[in-house]
Chain A
């Protein structure tokens, strides 16, 4: 059992603040680090894995600061986002070298086990240079878990994997978490985090926007005001009809675009079609206006 803890951690590059006063703890189980690209996820993970010095604050694995303490790598397995690998090695050689450098007692057996865990047996004796992105990713994961670390940190581990590989990697991580390991992975894809993690940390623009149980955060996300744009045969008439509906908070008709705002996503989508029918208007399109992950994140930050 190991716990990664960050206390008042900031990191800046020159005048650019990448991570701003972040405090949290990651314990056993799967934790997802969610945020848009450029939010500071990699900077956070690199500080946790001891590859970056915090400009302020402290990052510890249990009692040991992660920066400048290479002995922590007996406890940590790290899967970087960068695709760079030793292209001239086969996966077996790569994982075996990892086992040896980690000081594993039976490196051959450990390498075989790790390769089986990521289902890379068939390709294990081919040079990594010829691998697909998903296969490289699995080779990296095998190298990171070959020494059976209690903590696993993965930066965007599902990038480049096809859906089947994604599912089996999720199963693998779940099984490892069930054994009491601390697993932290980053992603910019909401669904990945939703399917895998018990707990999420949401980072936006270097700050921790939300943390805790995923369902609670999901509710925060769905309860926020939503905007929809509409196209119909008679927008003005439909607007009048919708204004009377209790689900609709506001209606705006500007530059020929009809925009609705609501606090209840589901009820609104159910109310629009009957309203159009009542008004005798043909409905062409109903489109959520702000469903991008970025807008969800920025909403969370404002709260």
Chain B
């Protein structure tokens, strides 16, 4: 049952052209790191530059962008085109559907984001894997929180992609930058806290203590899953004419 659900989800997600486009977006960060490396920079500078690149582009742009597209599509595309009926007409516990879909979306997002970040980290620093691995793990953790939020969002509104993008730009990008208090509930800051703890030197200092990031991140993720289960159990299917 679980294998079938996973394979259906992965086929739907990976079948689409947009996944390829997201792969290209990921390639961009690797290209930037490579081009920078061609300039033969000083070792200290290269750590700082690569750290900035991974934080400001990897965690701040690539991760939320991939997560919003994959997370809202994991269940949202089936809701949009009506194929969700084939899933709902099965004796599959709704929490299982949500969790399996989330795991699949998480895996795809993590793959599309963490691999380019790792590569860019290694290339940018001239072969040192430490920075890349730190940000790569931070991206994997952040990917779970983001996809959970966006998957829940796709069950709340049919405009999940637009609202998700607005959230990324406005909340994560602007509000969390202006008002330090809101950073506690910023997924990006949670990721940065992880990166900071993992990377140590050369990392872009996050604003949050790791413990706070873990607790708040867990609450947000579990809350989003609970919300998604609740919404999926109450999904109503209408006819095309009504």
Contacts and interface: CB of A to CB of B under 8 A. Distances in A.
B241 interface: yes
B77 to A, nearest CB: 11
Interface stretch (B82-90, B151-159, B166-174): B82-90
A18 B83 contact: no
A214 interface: no
A51 B90 contact: no
B8 to A, nearest CB: 6
Contacts of A76: 89
Given A13-B242, A37-B241, A78 B89 contact: yes
B7 to A, nearest CB: 8
A97 interface: yes
Interface residues on B, range: 20 to 34
Interface in A73-99: 73-74, 76-78, 80-82, 84-86, 88-89, 94, 97-98
A70 B232 CA distance: 11
B242 A42 contact: yes
Contacts of B238: 13, 42-43, 46, 52
Given A51-B236, A88-B11, A103-B91, A98 B86 contact: yes
A85 B240 contact: no
Nearest to A102: B90
B5 interface: yes
Contacts of B236: 46, 51-53
Given A51-B85, A88-B11, A97-B8, A43 B92 contact: no
The interface residues of chain B, by DSSP majority, are classed as: loop
A113 interface: no
Contacts of B12: 86, 88
Contacts of B42: none
A73 B239 contact: no
A43 B234 contact: no
Interface in B118-172: none
Interface in B1-37: 1, 3-5, 7-8, 11-12, 15
Contact of B82 (A37, A41, A84): A84
Interface in A98-136: 98, 100-103
Given A84-B81, A84-B82, A89-B11, A46 B1 contact: no
Interface residues of A, number: 40
Contacts of B94: 70
B93 interface: yes
B93 A81 contact: no
Contact of A143 (B3, B5, B86, B91): B86
Contacts of B15: 88
Contacts of B90: 70, 73, 98, 101-102
B189 to A, nearest CB: 38
Interface string B227-241: 000000111111111
Given A76-B89, A101-B1, A52 B237 contact: yes
Contact of A82 (B5, B85, B88): B85
Given A70-B94, A84-B81, A101 B87 contact: yes
A102 B87 CA distance: 10
Contact of B234 (A18, A68, A71, A89): A68
A78 B88 CA distance: 10
Interface of A: 13, 18, 37-38, 40-43, 46, 49, 51-53, 68, 70-74, 76-78, 80-82, 84-86, 88-89, 94, 97-98, 100-103, 143-144, 155
Nearest 4 Cβ contacts at the A-B interface: A42-B239, A84-B82, A51-B237, A101-B90
30 contacts: A13-B238, A38-B241, A38-B242, A40-B242, A42-B239, A42-B242, A43-B238, A46-B236, A46-B237, A72-B91, A73-B89, A73-B90, A73-B91, A74-B91, A76-B89, A84-B82, A84-B83, A86-B86, A88-B11, A88-B12, A97-B7, A97-B8, A101-B1, A101-B87, A101-B90, A101-B91, A102-B91, A103-B1, A144-B89, A155-B239
Given A80-B85, A81-B239, A86-B12, 11 more contacts: A13-B242, A18-B242, A42-B238, A43-B242, A46-B236, A51-B89, A70-B90, A70-B94, A78-B85, A81-B240, A103-B91
